[in-house]
Amino acid sequence: MTAEQQARATLADVARLAGVSAKTVSRAMSGDGSVSEVTRERVMTAAKRLRFRPNTLARNLRHGGVTNSVAFVIGDITNPFYFNVAAGIERELATKGMTMLLATTDDAPGSEAVVVDALLAQRVRALIIVPIAKDQSYLEGERQLGTPVVCVDRPAHHLVADSVVLQNRLGIEEAVRSLIAVGHRKIGFVCSPAELYTHQERLLGYRSALLEAGITDSRRYERLEPVLGATAEESVRELLALDDPPTAIIAGNNRASTAAWRELFNRSPRVAFIGFDDFEFADTLGISVVAYDPIELGREAARLVLARLDDPSGPPRQIELPTHLIRRGSGEVPPPDAPDSTIAP
């Protein structure tokens, strides 16, 4: 690493070396206007010799001061869920030559606006966020200025914006019904913090499906962690330590799923289990889950951005992506008192 900090060549430098005007170089490089074959050659040679690299920034500044990147704002980058969504966004954007800027709020509601502001100052083309703050109205002005804002996984609060969410209720309802069909009446629900929209929805799905089956005494089986980061392992232990423990457990999100299964693994008598969000080995291990496609979640969000860039007008769009129960065995375990599981009738 030598410090031979050679200066970066500009259009003007190339023009000088090629003996033409800057604009001609511009034309030659971008293939925009018409340039004679000879001069184009001359320009290209000069550019190569000077290691010229067009400055997209300056170009965009001239065009209206917007970059080519879309910002994706997430809470915790170590959560694989976000990562898969990011993968979908990146892929979809790449088809249009756009790049993804990734930023983190560390799941701190207070830092959302700060992080977003910094990104907007960098003139990102659009914003895709997993809302964590309780109020996104601070983005209203930016939206009016023409910056598309798309919310993923959770809708925005106090802001008109496109969004992509999952069919959370339906997913959990399907899981509950499936357990009931096998004979369960005592079904537990463990999940991460209750405040989040997704978890609220899933809780509502859990309750409505139970109600539907005439089960009205399940509140004691609900365990929503009060704080982010608390593990579902404890919740499961608590539930199973009850005098009248549940015979089946549903987890409401990915972290809770893995934590819960960790606790249920190797326990007997076997407690039926259905997780939320598919994961590696869930198939090999025979774990039933309410699955969905996180990559598609990202792709849809990016598509909404692209559509909005194409046509800023029109009403906000709310997309709901399907969830579906995958039966692999763990959710099909009957309760111990079921007719089929008794040794003799």
Partner DNA sequence: CTGTTAGCGCGTTCAT
Partner DNA sequence: ATGAACGCGCTAACAG
Residues 62-91 contacting DNA, CB under 7 A: 62-65
Between 56 and 208, CB nearer to DNA:
56
Residue 38 contact among a copy of itself, DNA, none, beta carbon within 5 to 8 Å by kind = DNA
Site string for DNA, 20-39 (x = CB under 7 A): xxxxx-xx-xx-xxxxx-xx
Residue 103 contact among DNA, a copy of itself, none, beta carbon within 5 to 8 Å by kind = a copy of itself
Q: Residue 26 interacts with a copy of itself (CB under 8 A)? A: no
Q: Residue 118 interacts with DNA (CB under 7 A)? A: no
Between 14 and 71, CB nearer to DNA:
14
Q: What does the alpha-carbon distance between residue 271 and residue 8 come to, in Å, rounded to a whole number?
A: 66
Between 54 and 286, CB nearer to DNA:
54
Nearest distance from C-beta of residue 125 to DNA, angstroms: 15
Q: Are 273 and 329 in contact (CB under 8 A)?
A: no
Q: Residue 49 interacts with DNA (CB under 7 A)? A: no
In residues, how long is the chain?
Answer: 345
Site string for a copy of itself, 273-312 (x = CB under 8 A): ------xxx--xx---------x------------x---x
Q: Measured in Å, how far apart are the chain's first and last C-alpha atoms?
A: 81
Which of 11, 85, 196, 209 touches DNA (CB under 7 A)? 11
- Judged by the rule CB under 8 A, the positions of this chain that interact with a copy of itself are 1-6, 8, 51, 53-58, 60-61, 65, 67-69, 71, 77-78, 80, 83-84, 86-87, 90-91, 94, 97, 99-104, 117-123, 141-146, 160, 162, 258, 261-262, 265, 279-281, 284-285, 295, 308, 312-316
| Residues of this chain that bind DNA (CB under 7 A) | 8, 10-12, 19-24, 26-27, 29-30, 32-36, 38-40, 52-55, 58-59, 61-65
